Amino acid sequence: MNLQINTLLAIILGGGWFFSRLFSKIKMPPVLGMVIFGMICSVAIRPYSDPVIYELEPYLKSFALIVILLRAGLGIHREVLKKVGKSALLMAFIPCLVEGTALIFTIRYFFGFSWEISGLTAFMLSAVSPAVVIPSMLDLKNRGHKEVPTIIMAGASADDVLAITLFSVFLGLSTNNETSAANAVLFVPISLVVGIGSGIITGLFLGAWFKHHHEKIRATEKTLIILIFATLLVETGNLLHFAALLGIMTCGFILLERHEKIANELANKLSHIWIIAEIILFVLIGFSLDISVAYKAGLKGLIVISIGLLFRAAGVILATSFSSLNYKERIFCAIAYMPKATVQAALGGVALANGIPSGSEILAIAVISILFTAPAGLFGIRFFSKRLLKEPY
């Protein structure tokens, strides 16, 4: 007898919340508890689950990514971004490209995947986790730190979009034999420009509309409207193959720049929605995992992930070498760029869903990266922020 979808969602939300609180009590990342609970559900109740959960899963993961990227865009002020603009730009591109390129060769060597599948796995892994990094950086900003958290937040958000864009390129190469590598590479800058442009247009339109109807529309309704537009933007991006997720973050940035009061209302509401979206995202990634495949991929996966982290750290040091940050702050940036969770949770099962033969192994590598880097990265941020960052005045 199958568990009905409402019962299954109640188990996911209730168990995910309980495990997140439990892990928070023992000073571990809450997302880690959610993933582990999902793995328990995979063994205990997956065989009895209503199949409709697998149809809902892609949208639920996409929705969670939309919420966190909107929050990121709504938390970046232009004045601070202008001050750290070059550093944030370099942090957005260099670490991701350095790690992703190194991982392509590493994954092909250890797992024997084709170049295309090695590429999509590499850039799925190379994204930093906004679910771990952004809340930690917002906390540092609240404690008075400005420059370093803003560089990391702006860079990490764009880093995710670049990784997702390149993942999509390699996914297209893996599933569409008519797409050439040259055309795919040339399309990347076009995808990024169109993504930013779509975000600017959406942000300007929503900002003007919200301002005109500010007294008539409650903050909750504004939040619903921006989520609808963001979802439509993602669907359009999937259809036309442009970086819609970058557009979502840009939309949030435009709203904050032009209508700060409205942007703050939206950010507050989205922070509440994220509580539910986060649980669903991370429980589902554990729920989708085949434990036997994860066991086989474990050691090789850890080696691959560790090599990638070394190259990412080198990329961060290179990217911040042109900034005003001192060497301690640059080391902290490298540590803060370590956690992986959100993008891996959202994209880890995409290869499997698209019928790629190595999909189960790719999903296993994604989960291993979360289990390994999320707690280590969060511990590093908490421990070294007090030792590597200057106390704000």
Residue 79 has a pLDDT of 67
Please provide residue 159's backbone torsions phi and psi, each rounded to the nearest 5 degrees: -55, -45
> What is the DSSP annotation of 108-128?
HHHH---HHHHHHHHHHHS--
The dihedral through the CA atoms of 17, 19, 21, 24 has a sign that is negative
Measured CA distances, 324 to 140, 319, 330 (Å): 19, 11, 10
- Interatomic CA distance for residues 378 and 103, integer angstroms: 23
Q: Which DSSP symbol is given to 49?
A: B
pLDDT tens sequence across 8-53: 889 989 999 999 999 888 877 788 889 889 889 888 887 777 777 7
pLDDT tens sequence across 58-88: 788 778 878 877 887 787 667 656 665 677 7
- Hey, which bits of the chain come out as E strands? none
Residue 104 has a pLDDT of 95
> Exposure string (b/e) for 238-252, b if CB count within 10 Å is 16 or more?
eeebbbbbbbbbbbb
Residue 182 has a pLDDT of 61
Residue (of 127, 117, 187) closest to 159 by Cα position: 127
Q: Are 165 and 149 in contact (CB under 8 A)?
A: no
CATH number of 59-388: 1.20.1530.20
Residue 193 has a pLDDT of 85
- Regions in the chain scoring below 50 on pLDDT: none
Residue 177 has a pLDDT of 58
- Interatomic CA distance for residues 196 and 161, integer angstroms: 11
pTM of the model: 0.76
Residue 179 has a pLDDT of 55
Q: Which DSSP symbol is given to 389?
A: S
